[in-house]
Structures are given as C-alpha cells and as structure tokens.
Structure 1
Amino acid sequence: MKKIYLLFLVLAMTASCTKKKKADLLVVNANIYTVDSVFSKAAAMAVKDGKIQAVGKSEELIEKYEGKRVLDAKGKTILPGLVDAHCHFFGLGLNQQKVDLLDTKSYDEVLQRVVAFQNDKKKSFVFGRGWDQNDWEVKEFPVKDKLDELFPDIPVVLQRIDGHAYLVNQKALDLAGITKDTKASRGEIVMENGELTGLLIDNPMAMIDAVVPDLSREEQANALLEAQEICFGFGLTTVSDAGLDREVIELIDSLQQSGDLKMRVYAMVSNSEENLDYYLAKGIVKTDRLNVRSFKVYGDGALGSRGAALKEEYSDKHHHFGALVTSVEDVYDIADRIAASEYQMNTHAIGDSANAIVLKAYNSALEGKPDRRWRIEHAQVIDGKDLDYFSQGIIPSVQPTHATSDMYWAEDRLGADRIEGAYAYKTLLDKSGIIALGTDFPVEKVSPFLTFYAAVARKDLDGYPKNGFQTKDALTREEVLKGMTIWAAFANFEEKEKGSLEPGKWADFIVLDKDVMKVPINEVPDINVEHTYSAGELMSEKNN
C-alpha cells in the first residue's frame, strides 16, 4: 500500500511539473526591447489579465505557458507602449473639426484653406490652427484685412502653431468687445498705425475664448475618440495632456469607465483658482487608465511669437523682452500651495527669464520635500547659471521636434551666444539624470518617430542641416527610447506600472515594421506601427 501511495505521489508531482500555466496572450519569436534597468532584450512574453507574467526566450515560455492567443512576431521589433510626456490629446480631437493650417507656405494659402473649409462645412464660427509665419517667404505676422473682406459677417479665429497667438477678423473682435482702447496685460493686442491688426498674443486671447461657442458633450466625446484612434495608430498607449479643465477630465473618466476610451491619460489640470480649489481638496484621482495628480501652469509665451520671457531683449526686436503669462508673485504662491499637497507642478517655460523664475520658485517651495518630480515643460532657453536647479530633482520635459522646427529662425530671436543654451537636451539630461520626451501635438505632428529622429539626428526631414543642429545636445537612441517610455512614466509617477516590459506591469506594447534601434536614422520617420496593444488587448492594427 505504501508503494502504491508513493507511485501516485510521484505521478502527481510529474503531472504538476508538466502542466502549463494559462496565459491570455503568448508573444513569441520577437525582438523585444524591454527597457528594464539593464536595457535587456527578450524574444517572448506571457500576458494574463492585462499584465505581463513573464518575459524570456520563446522556447522557455512555450514550454511553460499555454496561450489562448498566440502572436508570432516573426522577428519583428517590440517596444513598450510609447508615452507622450507632453501633448494636447483633447486638442488633437478638437482640431479634427478645425481648419488645418499646418505647413502653409504663405498667408494666401492660409486664406485659401479657410475659404475651402467654410465652403464645405458652412460653420457659424470658423476656427483654424497651425499657421507659422516663419515658414513663409514673407516672415511677418499677418493682419486681418483680407479676412475681413472674405468673412465680413462670420467670426474667424486662426490660432498660431504654438497656441500663443490668434489672428482674428473684425467680426470676432466685435463679439469679444475688443477695440483700440482695450488694455492688454501679460500679452499684446497688436496695433499698427493706431489700428487693430487682428493679432492677439497670449493673455488677450482669453477675450476671444470667452465668445467661442461651447461644444456639446457629444462633440467633446467624439473629439476624444478621434484623438484616441490617431494616437493608437502611432503606438502611443499613454498621453500626458498638458492642460485640462475639470469638465473634460470627468468626461475622460466617464468614457474610460464605459470602455469607450481605452487610452491611458495623465491629466495635467489647467491652473485656475476653481481647479486648484477643487482638486487640492479632492486629492489625487487614480484609476487604471486615468491619473490626475498635477497642475499645468504657464510661465510665459512662445519664442516664435516673441512671447517667451527673456532676460535680455530679443535680438531681432529691440526693447522687447517677451512677457510672463503668470506673474512672479503668482508663480511663487501657486508653487507654495501645490507643494503643501501631493500634487505635481508642471510649468510651461520657454525663455531664460521664465525658466529662471520658475526654477527658483520650485527650489523655494520644495525645500525639504524630496521626490516631488516637478517638471519644466519645454525648458527651451536656459541660462547656464540656472542649469544646476535640474540636479535637484526637477525634471525637464521637452519636445525634440521643437528644435528642428525652430532652428531656421531661433538664432535670429536669441543671437549667437544665447542660442547655445537653447534646446539643450543632452545637457539637461546630464544635469537631471532623466528627460521626459513628448511631441506637443497638435503644435507638432503626432508621430513619436519624428520625436525620435529629431532627438538623435537634430535634422529636418530633408536632412538639413548636413551636420545636424547643435549636435552636442543630441541624444542616443537608448536615451530617446527611455525618454519615451520609462522616463516619461517616471515623470508621471507611473514607472511601477508601465514604461518597460517586465513582469507585473501592464502589457502595453507595440510591434514595428523596422528595428528603430538599428535602421539608418533617416529611415526612422517612416517606421510604421503594425500593432498597438494596451493591457494585452489589440487597439490598432495596420493592414500590410
């Protein structure tokens, strides 16, 4: 009897050893960049309940796991789902209902697109975005005269590519009550020869915003869903939306809870007294797909519209220094208030003056408060004297395509000496230890592979300049991939759940048609994302 018992015991143990574990998805024969702490590679992953169970060799995982679904990657490259550290997700969706003015080569082309849009859509209020006078042969700001002729009775608002200037027609000015006598603070109502040009820079834009018709909840929901489809198609599985109001955040949460919106969103709350009061009292809001634990504050405007706040005058406009959007006193007060909570402060700062003010305010507010991960969004022009602040736990959150978009005219604005401290991504990385990378779409294009290319090559898509733009501040491919995955996740306090392909983390990953780490750098912009997975679920698939 004892021998029979021992035999059954051995058989039971043998059966338990050979029995395979269940997996919802088994990925095999892949070229996986895990982006773990040692940047290791693997060939297979097992996924269950949306999380990664194991990463390793194909033969080992095939022996150990039985997958309900099997993805044979056939040697294709797999990366962690990409995290856009700074974008405008909701704005991208809204832009699908606006005149697309990106890549226009003249003001006349802008007008042609507006007319064509209105002939098709027949809107009662026309909104467009994306013009950049620096791309035109005549690099001067446009004026409203032709808009007034074409649209005498319909308000038209055309937003500059950086979001920091409007060109509006007289009808829009009248609706907003803007006259030659209207005073502007922390921005500019541009006049020529004592007349309104229709150009509004930074804070005065709010007077126009106040008369733009509100969107219905259905229109807002459709905008979010359209943005999701675009982003999944480019391999983005988490987006950090840099500035949202409570109404939109709650709509995002509702759509996520219903299962319609599956994009993970790190929501930076727009800085306003109402939003501060509500969210500081409420505390951090965290679900599997939504994270609300930061405030987006504006320090200054943009360099292209000469709204960035500089310590010395603009090289191409004497006695002009740009402007702060938020006063020095308010920056310090907001920093102190947020520092008393668990929330993060993420501040838009372009000019060296704005960066210096914000960095000093952070330093003051965070004394004795480690690991707060407060961020400087853009960090475009930094005085060398202020760089050491980034060694004290402040994270630079930058968008590499800004460098290659601005390089044609940035030195005109800043001069030969000051440009050396601009778009200094490698310098910022060396100081901070990490750098979070984003696109700033729809200011720039959505594709994160343009971000990758610009950060490494420091060239435009035509290969200009031949030797790259300030290549001393180029990043390596490994640094860029980390900046778009694990470092971006860290900047969002999410590095324990995403940003690398490791057991216990969400199975957010993408399959590429080329190896982004090895192909010639000029091929990177054309890389396609063949599959995008979030929590092990297929979100986007390109038909080859």
Structure 2
Amino acid sequence: MKKIFPLFLLCLLIACAPEKIPADLLVKNATIYTVNENFDTENAFIVKNGKILEIGIKPELELKYNIAETYDAKGKTIVPGLIDGHAHLYGLGLNLQDVDLTETTSYDEVLARVITFQKEKSKNYIIGRGWDQNDWEEKKFPTNKELDSLFPETPVALTRIDGHAMIVNSKALELAGITTETKMDGGVIGVESGKLTGILVDSPMSLVEESFPKQNRGYNKQALLDAERICLEMGLTTVNDAGLDKEVIQLIDSLQRRDSMALRVYAMVSNKPKNLDYYLNNGKVKTDRLNVRSVKVYADGALGSRGAAMRNSYSDMPGHFGAMITPADSLQTLADKIATADFQMNTHAIGDSANISVLRAYETALKGKTDARWKIEHAQIVTEKDFDKFSKNIIPSVQPTHATSDMYWAEDRIGSKRIKGAYAYKTLLDKAGIVVLGTDFPVEKVNPMYTFYAAVARKDLKHYPENGFQKKDALSREEALKGMTIWAAYSNFEETEKGSIEEGKFADFTVLDRDIMKVEEDSIPNTKVLATFINGKKEFSSEEE
C-alpha cells in the first residue's frame, strides 16, 4: 500500500499539470542582447510561427512548451538580425558575375585582371568594378590608351569602387555615342588635347550603362541569390538596397514568395521616370520580406572621384567644386512629389553643398509632417550649423567604413577645417537622436563586424591609427549595435516587427562566436558568424551539425 500511494500522487500531479503549449524552437544557453528599450540581456527564448513567442529562463520555458526543435547556443552571443542600412544587393550580385577589381594596387594590376577574366569568360562586353586610384602609387585617373590597345573591338567599362567614375575604352564610348562634343550636366566627360580620355564621372556614365548587354531573368536571379548567400554568411537578415528598378524589385518579390530567397529587403526605388510613375501612382508594397516605400535620389557624386558638390573648391584641386547630379530646384520638385505620394525620400549627399541643398528641400517638403523619417544617405561632409537640421524626421544614414577607407586622403581633398565636419557620426547622433549604419557594399566589404569596429574604434583593419580617426565622433558599442538593428528598423518604419529580440517580433537573429559588447576592441573585426536565423529558421550555419 505504501508503494501505491506515491505512484498515485505522481499520476495525479501529471493529470493536473497544464498541457504544454506547442512551439517550434527553443533557443537556450546564450548571451542574448535583446536591444529592447532597456537593452536587457537574456538567456533563452521561444519561437513559434516565425516570431518570438516568449523570452525567459530555459528551465521554465522547457516546462511550459512542447518544443519541436532546440538550438543550444553553448554560451555564445546572440544579437537581433543585423540590418545593413545602405547597400547594393543587386549591384553586389552583378559584380560577382563581372571582373573584380577591388584591392588592386596599380592600373597595371587592373589591366592584368581584365586580361585574365576575358581569357576565362570570353565576354562580348567586358564589365568590371572596384578600382580606386587613391590606392595606387600614382594617384590619378588612368586613360584608355592601354584598354584600346588590348581590346580594340571589344567594349570595356570598368567602374570605380564608389560607382561614381568609370574608365571605358573607345569601343564602349562609340557604342554609347559619346564624342568630344557630348555635353551632360551633373558630371564630367574626360577630354585632354582634344581627345576623349575614357574617364567618365557621374551622369555621363549612364550613357555607357544603357549600352550594356541586357541581362535576362535567369542572370539577374543568379546575381541576387549569389549576393544573398554572402549576406547570410555575414549575419545579415535585412538589406536596404539603395536604388532598384521596378523589374528587379518584382524579381526579388517573386523569389521571396516562392521561398527561394529568405533575406528581407527594404527596396529603395531608383529615381527614374518609369519607376516613379509606377510606384508613386500605385502606392507602397509591403510583405513580410519586402518593403517598397522609398525613393533613392543622388544629389551629388563621391569624394574619391572629386564629384562631391562642395561650397568652396577642393583643397587639392583649386577651382573645382564637384557637381550636383540633381540640381537644387529639381531636388525640391522631386521632394514635393515624393511627399505628396507619402513615400520616403532617401538622398545620397556627400559634399557640404549637396547636404545643405538636400536639407533645405526636405524641410520645405516636410512642413507639417512629423513622422516622415526621410534619410540623408552618407551625410558625409556637413557644415557645423547644418548639423542642427537633422532629427528623427530627417535621419542620417552613414557608413562607418567610409571614414576608415577615406581617412588617408580626405583631408587633402577638403582641408583641415572642413574635415572636422566630415564622417561625424556621434555629432549626427547627438543632433538627430538616431543614426543608421550600413556599408554601401560593394563599395565597402559586406562584413557588418567591420562596420561595428569602424564605428566604435574609428580604425581600419590594421588597427590604424592607434588612437582612432577623429575619435570624438566614435559611437559606443550600444549605439553601434542599435544603428545596425533597432534604429535601422525604425528608419524603415519596421521597428514593431524587427530590430530587437522581443515578443511578437520576427525571430531574426545572428549568432556570434564572441561577445562584441565586451571583447577587446581590436578583436572585433575577427568576429565570426556561427548562424543566421530568419523567421526562426537557420538560413546559414558555420557550425558542425
């Protein structure tokens, strides 16, 4: 009888226990930076139907839920799914199909890579990207003399790393219809001694790009999926693509709906008449993975190619001021049109002249609007009095690795006075209350840990300079992580669905091999992504299963 009673009591307790709630995934044994309002750290959470169901302590969650799958983080660090606030996903994919010219140290190396590529691929039109004359011993633009000699009948177009300059051979110029008489506002067509040099800066590049071979749907699909693979490997769960045509946006939507593409995309519509006519008239597009509600505009060019629009001439090129790609009056007309359609305007502005032109256009167009969340992409060189114009209604979207890439020559370009208002991320944050972080890949590397490191250390990957570049504008680690998660989500009108690990939000999270909030600063760039989850599904893993 004594043995029967305990058995009876156990059966009674089991019968009275509440039935466990079905759940898809338990994530346990982790240092979880939730990036919620209090920036809490947690140990475990439950996922159901692609969303965070509950955050808590592992034993309690195991008792409460009937769990289909468990992910044991084994003490590693988990952060919200990382968001790249400004990048070119499709552009990265296209680059992967073309000649890679990044990290070339001379024009001769550029030519050698083109020759090797063409021997392997035998293309009818050779396209490449990634050269930067600032990394060469002779820091000046090349001419197309060598390209003409090597490829007299095959068009060649090689774009600078920033996408704002191009060296093309004579065959490409011929196909584009460019002669010494061609004139085009918003850029430069290189001419020396009455002959075309092959250098194009900003607007004239579009004439060459229009002559590129038209790619079919299969080619574009492969480009997108190749780029997505790299992003997932780097821990990204959302990418803001800064400028896409309607056809590419619709292809992304198609791939996502068929579950062929897991990555979430915030697609900025490229500022072209056909795109604006379609989207501004038909309205926003929003699914769980795609958000189309913004227009990407170029105010000016890039600093590296001296295309950034400056109030005073360049310090290393007296009399040269850069150029506005979209003149001030056109910016205002466009801003008014976008505001009327209730779309967001995201404008590339590098030079101080471009930044004030954009700020003025925004202020006029946004009168009476308090939650527009328009963005200035790059906000790279800002005059001191203009910082006050940034806010949560006019948000700075910046790329920390631009500072550490440009720091070697930027002061030569703009002088010691103007450099103080350049790459001023902490100042922008203090004024706006928010700052969005991205990479601008493929201009910079995709790796978001490089973004995080450049933001907090203000150093390059060789840990130079020792005390950081203009360290007063470094961000704290908490600020940097927010800029890559919740603040980026806010700028996309998505803060209620992503950007932090909180109940009811998408189960997007990134598993790291070290605690980036605590490790020694110079070890941050060596951080590896162990796994990337979107909707609670593991989309990438470097761990042994």
Q: Tell me which interval the TM-score lies in, with the shorter structure as reference length.
A: over 0.9
* Deviations 1:337-371, CA, capped at 9 Å, x for gaps: 11112210000000000000000110011011111
Counterpart of 1:287 in structure 2 is: 287
Deviation at 1:15, TM superposition (A): 4.5
User: Using the alignment, how far apart are the partners of 1:108 and 1:16 within structure 2?
Assistant: 79
Q: Decide which moves more: 44-53 or 174-183.
A: 174-183
2:391–2:434 CA contact under 8 A, matched in 1 = no
Q: Which amino acid aligns with 2:322?
A: G
Deviation at 1:22, TM superposition (A): 1.3
Alignment partner of 2:390: what SS? helix
Counterpart of 1:511 in structure 2 is: 511
User: Using the alignment, how far apart are the partners of 2:171 and 2:534 within structure 1?
Assistant: 46
User: Using the alignment, how far apart are the partners of 1:459 and 1:192 within structure 2?
Assistant: 38
User: Using the alignment, how far apart are the partners of 2:17 and 2:195 within structure 1?
Assistant: 84
User: Using the alignment, how far apart are the partners of 1:484 and 1:463 within structure 2?
Assistant: 22
* Deviations 1:355-392, CA, capped at 9 Å, x for gaps: 00000110011011111000000000001111111036
Q: Which amino acid aligns with 2:43?
A: A
Counterpart of 1:473 in structure 2 is: 473
User: Using the alignment, how far apart are the partners of 2:182 and 2:300 within structure 1?
Assistant: 21
Q: Which amino acid aligns with 2:387?
A: L
Counterpart of 2:233 in structure 1 is: 233
Counterpart of 1:222 in structure 2 is: 222
User: Using the alignment, how far apart are the partners of 1:316 and 1:95 within structure 2?
Assistant: 31
Counterpart of 2:498 in structure 1 is: 498
1:535 aligns with 2:535: yes
Deviation at 1:18, TM superposition (A): 3.6
User: Using the alignment, how far apart are the partners of 1:433 and 1:412 within structure 2?
Assistant: 31
Q: Decide which moves more: 272-281 or 464-473.
A: 272-281
User: Using the alignment, how far apart are the partners of 2:339 and 2:79 within structure 1?
Assistant: 35
1:174 aligns with 2:142: no
* Deviations 1:48-100, CA, capped at 9 Å, x for gaps: 00000011222221222221001111101011110000000011111111111
Deviation at 1:419, TM superposition (A): 0.2
Deviation at 1:194, TM superposition (A): 2.1
User: Using the alignment, how far apart are the partners of 1:66 and 1:341 within structure 2?
Assistant: 47
Pairwise CA RMSD: 1.5
Give structure 1 stretches of 5+ with no counterpart. 1-10
Alignment of 1:28-427 (within 5 A): 28-391=28-391, 393-427=393-427
Counterpart of 1:3 in structure 2 is: none
1:26–1:66 CA contact under 8 A, matched in 2 = no
2:392–2:434 CA contact under 8 A, matched in 1 = no
Q: Which amino acid aligns with 1:461?
A: L
Alignment partner of 1:190: what SS? strand
User: Using the alignment, how far apart are the partners of 2:82 and 2:463 within structure 1?
Assistant: 25
User: Using the alignment, how far apart are the partners of 2:13 and 2:487 within structure 1?
Assistant: 44
Q: Decide which moves more: 473-482 or 520-529.
A: 520-529
Q: Decide which moves more: 61-70 or 476-485.
A: 61-70
Counterpart of 1:7 in structure 2 is: none
Deviation at 1:193, TM superposition (A): 2.1
Alignment partner of 1:166: what SS? strand
Deviation at 1:13, TM superposition (A): 10
Deviation at 1:12, TM superposition (A): 9.6
Counting matched residue pairs gives 536
Counterpart of 1:27 in structure 2 is: 27
Alignment partner of 1:96: what SS? helix
User: Using the alignment, how far apart are the partners of 1:91 and 1:521 within structure 2?
Assistant: 31
User: Using the alignment, how far apart are the partners of 2:114 and 2:445 within structure 1?
Assistant: 20
Change (3 A) 1:12 1:543: closer
Change (3 A) 1:104 1:14: same
2:51–2:506 CA contact under 8 A, matched in 1 = yes
1:301–1:324 CA contact under 8 A, matched in 2 = yes
User: Using the alignment, how far apart are the partners of 1:21 and 1:395 within structure 2?
Assistant: 42
Deviation at 1:17, TM superposition (A): 4.5
User: Using the alignment, how far apart are the partners of 1:357 and 1:184 within structure 2?
Assistant: 21
User: Using the alignment, how far apart are the partners of 2:231 and 2:392 within structure 1?
Assistant: 33
Q: Which amino acid aligns with 1:197?
A: T
1:129–1:159 CA contact under 8 A, matched in 2 = yes
Q: Which amino acid aligns with 2:279?
A: Y
Deviation at 1:543, TM superposition (A): 3.9
Counterpart of 1:6 in structure 2 is: none
User: Using the alignment, how far apart are the partners of 2:177 and 2:282 within structure 1?
Assistant: 37
Alignment partner of 1:446: what SS? coil
Alignment partner of 2:39: what SS? coil
Q: Which amino acid aligns with 1:64?
A: K
2:373–2:392 CA contact under 8 A, matched in 1 = no
Counterpart of 1:525 in structure 2 is: 525
Q: Which amino acid aligns with 1:179?
A: T
Give structure 2 stretches of 5+ with no counterpart. 1-10
* Deviations 1:97-143, CA, capped at 9 Å, x for gaps: 11111111000111111111111111110001000000111101111
Change (3 A) 1:113 1:38: same
Q: Which amino acid aligns with 2:88?
A: H
Runs ≥4 in structure 1, deviation > 3 angstroms? 11-18
Deviation at 1:184, TM superposition (A): 2.5
User: Using the alignment, how far apart are the partners of 1:392 and 1:77 within structure 2?
Assistant: 30
Counterpart of 1:431 in structure 2 is: 431
Change (3 A) 1:310 1:13: farther
* Deviations 1:238-276, CA, capped at 9 Å, x for gaps: 000000010000111111111101110000000122211
* Deviations 1:298-340, CA, capped at 9 Å, x for gaps: 0000000000000110000011100000011110001111111
